[in-house]
Amino acid sequence: MRVRLAEIRENLALLHEEQISIQKALAAVTYPVLTLPPEITSEIFVQCTAHYIDNKPDSQSAPLVLTYVCKAWRDIAVHETRLWRSFRVAFYEPERYSIQTRHTLNLVRTYLERAGTGPLDMHIMHVHLHPRTDSPWTVDPLLHDIIRRSSQWHKVFLSLPWFILAEHFRDKMDFSTLETLALAGATDGPSRLCPISAFAAAPKLRDVTLYNCATPSIIALPWVQLTRFDVRGYNAETCLEVLRLAPNLISCAFHGPHRRDAVPDILPPPHRQLRHLTICGSGLNALLSRLTLPKLEEITIEEIPFSNSQRERSFVQFIRRSPALSQFTCHFSVPEEVKAQSIVSMFIAMPKLSSVHLTAYSDGVEAVLRNIRDSTSFLPCVQSMQFDIPYEDTNNYITSALLSEALSTRWNPEPNASDLRSFRLVWLGDSGEVGIGVEELYLEAQLFELKRQGMDIYIGTEEESWI
């Protein structure tokens, strides 16, 4: 045993010498990345993590993973407050006191501590699987922590049950740096009537989104100063209420139901600053008959409200009350029963239109192309056009001769007509059902010549262009 002990001691001595030799070799190694000034490395960290969309506190992802590389990087990352000012977390009930939940809370508190006094961007989502009990919810401690830092809030999305929002944000708070706010939460039960006053004092707040939560009027907001509002899951009456409360909007988006509820006979004051409007949900199309938007430049709608002649006249009248309109998008297909001439009449009412994206049946597209070819006074300012032919169109044949004649007319426009610089014609669905023949398209050399001269042309299916 003594002999074996002596051998072990001898081996330990040799290993110790080897350890010293390796340490000296490592110390002599130069890592070029560590020769960068700390402020450069810090800026690299910030720029690399700035594009993270889903910034969950996770030891396997930035910025936490940067603290595990080496001591130098850890010191730089820990002291760079910009790395810790943005995070996204989700809590699931009833995992109130699980190890994972406690770990997430601790990580969030680490973020808050390292963020210093800088602005905070937060996305907090809470999913409850069972009705609330008397015990505290996992999200409550976190809300207490972030509410203490309300003066640092910058861009915040809170997806919480409404009774939790009403409980924590009942009274006014200091939101001196808050610029963007999104609220989402179920409003079942009496909590849907509980008001929120916390955000009334937010001098920089301009952008608000509400996702199917309480009636906007019970949320105290600095309505007059808001410039962008996004409403999701509300009916036409609520959308009109938003327009009444926020008279200085520049951009507004309404995403509502497809059922056609009666629209209250309310005329909001003309919105003289509104430039961008999105309406998704056919149940909201009737809103347009109530609106006057003289500065409107861009409109996106889900479908053109041409289900009857009265709705058609109402929509065209709205268009005429928006003389500055320059961009028009309709995502869903124009109904087959809508006459081609109705589409043409709609575009005649938009003489300043520069960009068109329309999903329509082929006869409507052909009618537009014929007017493009025959009259420079029809859409005289248009520069970009995209037409999508729906797969339901069984008579989807468009001649390449008409295409080339229409595009050639606007590529070499007459006086007072703008150049058409981009044209896309896309057949949706199975390319085997497309009614234009590839061989015919290749016979029309003028289309290829236009593309060679610089016009951006795409004609084909969603998968491939034929030209």
**205, pLDDT greater than 70:** yes
- Given a contact cutoff of 8 angstroms between Cβ atoms, the answer to whether 46 and 80 are in contact is yes
Q: If you average pLDDT over residues 176-190, what whole number do you get?
A: 81
Question: What digits encode the pLDDT tens for the residues 124-147?
Answer: 887 654 544 444 556 677 888 889
Angle, alpha carbons 109-112-114 (nearest 5°): 110
Question: What digits encode the pLDDT tens for the residues 33-72?
Answer: 777 888 999 999 988 877 665 577 777 778 888 898 888 8
pLDDT band for position 12 (cuts 50, 70, 90): confident
Question: What digits encode the pLDDT tens for the residues 451-467?
Answer: 888 889 998 888 888 77
Residue identified by tokens 């990352």 is 77
CA distance 203 to 222: 8
Q: What share of the chain in percent tops pLDDT 70?
A: 81
pTM recorded for the entire structure: 0.81
Looking at per-residue confidence, does 247 or 361 come out higher? 247
Question: What digits encode the pLDDT tens for the residues 390-438?
Answer: 877 766 677 888 888 899 888 865 555 468 889 999 888 764 455 554 4
What confidence score (pLDDT) does residue 61 get? 79
What confidence score (pLDDT) does residue 324 get? 93
Q: If you average pLDDT over residues 77-87, what whole number do you get?
A: 91
Q: If you average pLDDT over residues 295-313, what whole number do you get?
A: 82
